[in-house]
Amino acid sequence: MPDNSPYESTSLSVRSRIYRILYDDTEGFCSKQALARLCGVSMPTLYQNLNPLMEEGLVRYSGEGVSTGGRKAQGLEIVPDARISVGISVTEHHLRLIAADLRLKELAFRAVPYDFVSSLTQEESASAVLETFLDDFSLDRNRLLGVGITIPGLLSEDRSRILFAPTLGLRGVELGKLTQHIPYPVHVDNDGSASGHAECFVRGGRQNMAYLSLENGIGGAVLMKGRLYEGSRAHSGEFGHLCIEPGGLRCTCGKYGCLEPYCSPRRIAETFGVSLETFFAGVEAHRPEYEQLLYDMLRHLAIGISAIHMVLDCDVVLGGYFSEYLQPYLPVLKQYVLAGNAFEENADFVQLSRLRHNITPLGAALCFIREFVNRV
């Protein structure tokens, strides 16, 4: 047996090792013989632990390998939709619901108009939206691991209370009425933290990374070797409230000059009353007032990115629905970043999210996926 497999010396059970190896093997062909070598076990032990996984529908054959003169080896893989998870992203005016399989692949999505503040007095409203979503997309409740919910604001350490959510206009609000009528396991998280976890997941899970979420509320997450750095009071990653222009525009938090009022899509809506799609179409058509606003937003965004990078010395990844439009303007943004950085020769550390759409509800769903994979 080889002695350099990362799975051989682990304290995981053989069953768990089998599943984790197949889960991590997203592209290759894994035969039973290779699986036994990676696990560091004999073939009889492998079969003893593999067969229950196949009987439970968690693992299946994936085809045959290339023949080397004898019988072709059969490959193995996890069954991605053996379990599903639902993520719900709470915003000012909508719930964004997504169902994902074990590889975080989107199975269904819906955005529902929703007044979150009013809903706190309607005990079953969020539960009703969820049940309709499950019914309309014929999602199997027996395979549902749980429901993750993200909130754009600071949460108490036990995730039972909103401490402060500026874009929702809430402070010190209990979340029980949102969750108590949902008849499935529920986990509530900050939207930036959940999105950062999702981005780290699709990048392999071991990065040092600052994730910056560019939505109406700007937040984010700091990940060190794939682990979330929460800070002393679980408040890390609130990048939207970095002061980048002292005495500048008023923020939803009540202070002046924060990154959020300068770089949030809300600024576009409040200035021109148009959607992001319309705004960027106008930029492409060289409407001067649209171009002027965009480049002002990019300049201020560069100030925030430079500060984050200077402190953390890691990649700064831009996500959220505003980032979906930034690819053509990334070179300009990098130029602005370099103009404020005395130490770097390039700004390749500024990157766009690999999850270009619906990253926040996907991040909400990821909690139960990771929990399941870790306990199989």
Q: What is the DSSP annotation of 137-186?
A: TT--GGGEEEEEEEESSEE-TTSSEEEEEGGGTEEEEE-HHHHTT--S-E
Residue 272 has a pLDDT of 97
Indicate if 205-352 has the same CATH topology as 14-78: no
Q: What is the DSSP annotation of 295-332?
A: HHHHHHHHHHHHHHHHHH-SEEEEESTTGGG-GGGHHH
Q: Return the DSSP state at 244.
A: S
Angle at 168 between CA 256 and CA 268, to 5 degrees: 60
Which class is 205-352 in CATH? Answer: alpha beta
Residue 6 has a pLDDT of 53
Here the tokens at position 352 are: 């766009």
Residue 246 has a pLDDT of 95
Helix or strand or coil: residue 86?
strand
Helix or strand or coil: residue 246?
coil
Q: Return the DSSP state at 73.
A: P
Phi/psi at 85 (5° precision): -135, 150
The CATH number of domain 14-78, selected from 1.20.1740.10, 2.30.38.10, 2.170.120.20, 1.10.10.10: 1.10.10.10
Residue 67 has a pLDDT of 53
Crossing angle of the two packed helices 288-312 and 330-339, in degrees rounded to 10:
50
What is the C-alpha to C-alpha distance for residues 175 and 95, in angstroms, rounded to an integer? 15
List the domain boundaries for the chain: 14-78, 82-196+359-375, 205-352
Residue 205 has a pLDDT of 78
Which pLDDT tens digits describe the chain residue by residue (376 residues)? 344 555 555 567 999 999 999 998 756 788 999 999 999 999 999 999 999 999 999 999 987 655 555 566 789 999 999 999 999 999 888 899 999 999 999 999 999 998 877 776 665 688 999 999 999 999 999 999 999 999 998 998 888 899 999 888 888 988 887 888 899 999 999 999 999 999 999 998 778 999 999 998 899 999 999 899 988 877 889 999 999 999 999 999 999 999 999 999 999 999 999 999 999 999 999 999 999 999 999 999 999 999 999 999 999 999 999 999 999 999 999 999 999 888 888 999 999 999 888 999 999 999 999 999 999 9
Residues 6+ apart with CB under 8 A from 147: 85, 86, 87, 88, 130, 182, 184, 185, 186, 187, 368
Q: What is the DSSP annotation of 34-62?
A: HHHHHHT--HHHHHHHHHHHHHTTSEEEE
Cβ atoms 230, 196 nearer than 8 A: no
Q: Which of 71, 147, 63, 47 is nearest to 369 (CA)?
A: 147
The CATH number of domain 82-196+359-375, selected from 3.30.1540.10, 3.30.420.40, 3.40.50.740, 3.80.10.10: 3.30.420.40
What sign for the dihedral angle of Cα 81, 85, 90, 95? positive
Residue 68 has a pLDDT of 54
**15: enclosing H helix or E strand:** helix 14-24
Residue 3 has a pLDDT of 44
Q: Name the pTM for this structure.
A: 0.87
Strands across the sheet containing 209-214: 227-229, 218-224, 209-214, 315-319, 350-352
